[in-house]
Structure formats: structure tokens, C-alpha cells
Amino acid sequence: MHPIVKLVAQRLSLGILLLFAASALLFGLTEILPGDAAQAQLGQSATPENLANLREEMGLNRPALTRYAEWIGGILTGDMGNALSNKLPIGEQIGKRLGATMFLAFWAALISVPVAILLGLVAVRYLNRWPDKVISGSTLAAISLPEFMIAYILIFVFAVKLGWAPSFANVPPDMPLLEKLHSIALPIAVLTMVVLAHMMRMTRAAILNVMQSAYIETAELKGLSSFEVIRKHAFPNAVAPIVNVVMINLAYLVVGVVVVEAVFAYPGMGQYLVDAVVKRDVPVVLTSGIIFSAVYIILNMIADIVSILSNPRLRHPK
């Protein structure tokens, strides 16, 4: 078997094992949560008889291993079941919500990835000079502030005071593209600021690490300009760590949007997960969690494979 094919097969096998481990962990965590869907629906005034009847109807009184086996079997066959809270098919709801989250993540990534790499290159080119200090200081401030604080600041300034963008991100399917972009401008800005800051700082660090190599000094002694040294020698050899950082942050754009979607009431996967947790809707929580886990594992697996393929020493370890 070709080494690259073997490498991909190993990573895929490891990813599948991690998904099963994540599913078991998610199920175990939901089991130890206080309360359940029946208690959440009936409220504090529910009688023991009503609770017992509703739990019997929802199937909550069956053994945990039985419910886990049925759930994981349904996931493997494509049947995600129905939500406990509203009896709607989980697959249809997640299909709509995941599309909305991916739409938000796509536009945030389209802006943040190239800008972050460009700012990282500029910071290295003007190391310890005012462009580097301004870029590094701004990104450090963005990293230091939590997402919800950045979101509320932007809402107060651009939605309340200036009225340039709506504070709630409502994107009906029939809305024109430009109106959708205007509606999600603030969520995109929040995600871009946070993700761009992380990627820029890691890009800068990766290139600076490569700049300490002997071949970089040789290129400088040949008379190449700083820009040429970075473009032709430093950046290509820093691709592997940069790809890792980009993939991790892309995973965050899909997985870590829960807070941002909750603040802006955006109808995505994050908001769907928050509502399911409040209602103790375990099937929805489990299915949302396994989808988030799959996205994170797949993107990290792609970063791992690209890093190995871009490095001959890792590609040919012997």
C-alpha cells in the first residue's frame, strides 16, 4: 500500500474511533444532567403520576445502554429520530440549521483567513516597527475580550447608536443575498475579529520561527529583500503550522458559534443546541454534539494530513 494511502486510512480510522468515543462521552454527560425532557415540559408543578406517564411515552424510563444503542444505530442508518420537545424530525431541523451556520461560517472565513495571513506577513515584514505593534496590539485586544462582550459592543455602537446593522440576525430562505449579508453583518464581524486575531498571531509566530533557520540567513546574504525572503523561503516552509491554525479556527467557526448565535438570535446550529439544552431534549443535544464533533475531527484530520504531506521529513519518516 502506498504510504500516503496508508496515512489517510490511518487518520480516517482514528477519526471514526474518536467519533464513537465522543458519542459515548456526550451520552454519558447528558445522563448525569439534572432533570429530563419530561420534567422540563411539565414544569415544577408536575405530579409524580404525570411525570411517570410522560417518561413512559418518551421512552426515558428504558435502560441507558438501550437508548444509546438505539440512538447510535439510528445515526449510522441516517435516522436521527424526532425531538422530544416538539416531535419534529431532527434531521430536517438540523439540515436547515446547519445550512444557516455554514452560511455564516463561510462568509466569516472568506474574510478572516486571507486577511489574517496577510496581516501576519506584514507584521513579520515590519517586525518591531509600528505596523507590527499596531497589528499585534489590536489582535491581542480582540483575543482578550470574550465573544459576547465584542458582540454587545458592536450591537450598541452599530445597531443602537448608528443604526447601520440590525441587532438580530434574521435570514429567511427567500431573502436576497445582499440583504442576508446586511442582516448577518454584526455576527460576521464578531467571528472575524476573534478568528482573525488567533490566525494572525499564529501565522506571525510560525513565520518568525522559520526566519531563525540557516537557509533564511543564506537567502539574506544573497541580497534578497526582506519581502522576497518571506515570500519565497519563509512562508512556504511555514505552511504546515499555518494550515493547522486555519483548520482549527475554521472548526471554531462551525463549532464555536453557540455564543454568537445566541446573542444575535441567529437560527443556526448553536441556537438550536442552546434551546435543546434548556428543554432537556437529549436526542437533539446528542445529534448536534456528534455533528459538531464530526466537523472538528474532520477539519483537524485534514490539517494533520496536509501538514504531513507538506513536510518531506514527516512524509518519509525513515
Q: What CATH number does residue 253 fall under?
A: 1.10.3720.10
Rounded Cα distance, 306 and 310, in Å: 6
Rounded Cα distance, 67 and 53, in Å: 18
pLDDT given at position 60: 66
What is the Rg, in whole angstroms, of the alpha carbon atoms belonging to the chain? 24
* Residues 217 and 271 occupy one common structural domain: yes
Rounded Cα distance, 121 and 100, in Å: 32
* Residues 73 and 108 occupy one common structural domain: no
Which range marks the domain in which residue 33 is found? 3-77
* Residues 105 and 186 occupy one common structural domain: yes
Of residues 10 and 50, which shows the higher confidence score?
10
* Residues 192 and 148 occupy one common structural domain: yes
Rounded Cα distance, 236 and 219, in Å: 14
In a domain, 90, yes or no: no
Compute CA distances 221 → 208, 214, 224, 238, 267, whole Å: 18, 11, 7, 21, 56
- Contacts of the segment 42-51: beta carbons below 8 A, 24+ positions apart: none
pLDDT given at position 318: 55
Sequence-distant (≥ 6) Cβ neighbours of residue 79 within 8 angstroms: 91
In a domain, 87, yes or no: no
In a domain, 84, yes or no: no
pLDDT given at position 98: 82
Mark which of 46, 77, 108 sits at the end of a domain. 77
* Residues 161 and 224 occupy one common structural domain: yes
For residue 89, the SS3 value is strand
* Residues 72 and 146 occupy one common structural domain: no
pLDDT given at position 316: 59
What is the C-alpha end-to-end distance of the chain, expressed in Å? 16
In a domain, 309, yes or no: yes
* Residues 67 and 107 occupy one common structural domain: no
Sequence-distant (≥ 6) Cβ neighbours of residue 95 within 8 angstroms: none
Find where cell 440590525 sits.
166
pLDDT given at position 50: 65
Mean pLDDT over 29-34 rounds to: 72
The per-residue pLDDT for range 152-185, each reduced to its tens digit, is: 888 888 888 888 888 877 777 777 888 888 888 8
* Residues 263 and 139 occupy one common structural domain: yes
Q: Residue 277 half-sphere exposure, CB side, CA atoms within 13 Å?
A: 14
In a domain, 10, yes or no: yes
* Residues 295 and 207 occupy one common structural domain: yes
In a domain, 89, yes or no: no
Sequence-distant (≥ 6) Cβ neighbours of residue 29 within 8 angstroms: none
pLDDT given at position 35: 63
* Residues 34 and 162 occupy one common structural domain: no
The per-residue pLDDT for range 89-119, each reduced to its tens digit, is: 887 788 888 888 888 888 888 888 888 888 8
In a domain, 178, yes or no: yes
Of residues 270 and 56, which shows the higher confidence score?
270
In a domain, 88, yes or no: no
The domain total for the chain is 2
For the cut 80, the answer to whether the pLDDT of residue 277 exceeds it is: no
Rounded Cα distance, 34 and 280, in Å: 9
* Residues 137 and 235 occupy one common structural domain: yes
CA angle, 128 then 114 then 138, to 5°: 40
**Of 39, 5, 32, which is closest to residue 278 (Cα–Cα)?**
39
* Residues 36 and 115 occupy one common structural domain: no
